Amino acid sequence: MGKSYPAMLPEHEDFIRKQHIFFVGTAPLETNGHVNISPKGYDALRILSPSDVAYLDLTGSGNETSAHLEENGRITIMFVAFEGPPMILRLYGSGQVTLPTSPEWEELVPLFPELPGARQIMRVRIESVKTSCGFSVPFYDYTGERDTLVKWAERKGDEGIKEYQQEKNRESMDGILTPLGKALR
């Protein structure tokens, strides 16, 4: 049976720190808009307090999460135990996008490893934490991070990344302008 908490407990934080992947879910307000679920790897998430987390978001082919957060702020982050005791943990909250040009960037970016292609930091104020059994989740072995995205960003270089973001990250697939898109105007 699932349980709800107003913030993360120490055991939730310990569980999160052991995970190699997490999933981010957002959606636009428009009922016919697309729900987005994005897997995130690398060492990209930081627990700032029992009710506040942030993750470093790398340049990718879309920017749905950013657009949805700009529009309505709703976000869910899900962690799943693929090894050890079964558990699913979800953080429900409201998020904000921090771009490299904002003052908060300088406060947050030192918390993360330097990764090429870093485009924004998503900060989430947690409103509810929910755990569930995860009994049906299979075991998977973690064998390491893929280096494909890092190598792609290194080959592109800073200017190539900016051009790519200008082309691919300005708005969501539903036409919602992202904070990055607004900054690139």
Can you say how many angstroms the Cα of residue 130 is from the centroid of all Cα atoms in its chain? 18
- For residues 37 and 69, what is the distance between their CA atoms, to the nearest angstrom? 13
The C-alpha atoms of residue 95 and residue 104 are separated, in whole angstroms, by 14
Q: For residue 43, which of 23, 18, 25 has the smallest C-alpha distance?
A: 18
Query: Cα separation of 157 and 92, whole Å?
Result: 35
Domain with 40 in it: what CATH number? 2.30.110.10
165: left (phi over 0), alpha (psi -120 to 50) or beta: alpha
**10-residue stretch averages of pLDDT, the chain, 185 residues long:** 94 98 97 95 97 97 96 98 97 98 96 97 98 96 95 96 94 94 81
Quick: pLDDT tens for 129-145. 999 999 999 999 999 99
In tens, the pLDDT along 12-49 reads: 999 999 999 999 999 999 989 999 999 999 999 999 99
Q: How many domains does the chain have?
A: 1
What pTM was estimated for this model as a whole?
0.96
Please give the residue range of the domain that contains residue 112: 3-184
